[in-house]
């Protein structure tokens, strides 16, 4: 039975909806049904939402399979918290003006590190 992954999947889903609503609100403000109409704020919101949509599903799959493979619940919670923090941080930092690139790099590095860590763990579990 899964104990940790459903919590972080639910949190990621709520973050996704929040980011989508931010895009929708800015689309109304910019009167942009499609594209970004050259609106810089809308461009940032679209990328924050899109970036989350690109990485969160893979992270959630890796977390779920890690838990299904028997990783301790505390490890799964630690991974889940790191995932939520890195994705929330990235969405926040990409939306700032001026954009703090060092923080954006940190959150992306954390995301890549989490993907690599879980993928390596799953490979090691499968092979050994």
What is the reported pLDDT for 1?
A: 77
What is the reported pLDDT for 2?
A: 85
Question: How large a percentage of the chain has pLDDT more than 90?
Answer: 95
Q: pLDDT tens digit string along 37-84?
A: 999 999 999 999 999 999 999 999 999 999 999 999 999 999 999 999
Average pLDDT of the chain to the nearest whole number = 96
Angle between helices 5-30 and 40-68 (to 10 degrees): 170
Burial class (CB in 10 A: 0-12, 13-18, 19+), 14: exposed
**Phi, psi torsion values for 23, nearest 5 degrees:** -65, -45
Contact 61, 122 (CB under 8 A): no
pTM over 0.85: yes
Q: Whole domain around residue 42: which residue ranges?
A: 5-127
Q: Tally the domains of the chain.
A: 1
Q: Give me the CATH number covering residue 77.
A: 1.20.120.550
- CB within 8 Å of 84: residues ≥ 6 apart: 8, 11, 12, 15
Question: How large a percentage of the chain has pLDDT more than 70?
Answer: 100
What is the reported pLDDT for 15?
A: 98
Identify which has the larger pLDDT, 2 or 82. Answer: 82
């Amino acid at each position: 039975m899964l104990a940790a992954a459903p919590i972080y999947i639910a949190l990621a889903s709520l973050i996704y909806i929040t980011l989508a609503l931010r895009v929708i609100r800015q689309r109304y403000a910019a009167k942009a049904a499609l594209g970004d109409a050259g609106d810089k704020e809308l461009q940032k919101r679209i990328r924050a939402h899109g970036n989350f949509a690109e990485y969160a599903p893979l992270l959630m799959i890796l977390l779920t399979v890690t838990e299904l493979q028997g990783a301790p619940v505390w490890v799964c919670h630690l991974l889940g918290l790191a995932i939520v923090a890195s994705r929330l941080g990235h969405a926040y930092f990409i939306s700032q003006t001026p954009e703090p690139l060092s923080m954006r790099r940190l959150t992306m590095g954390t995301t890549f590190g989490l993907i690599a860590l879980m993928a390596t763990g799953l490979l090691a579990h499968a092979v050994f």
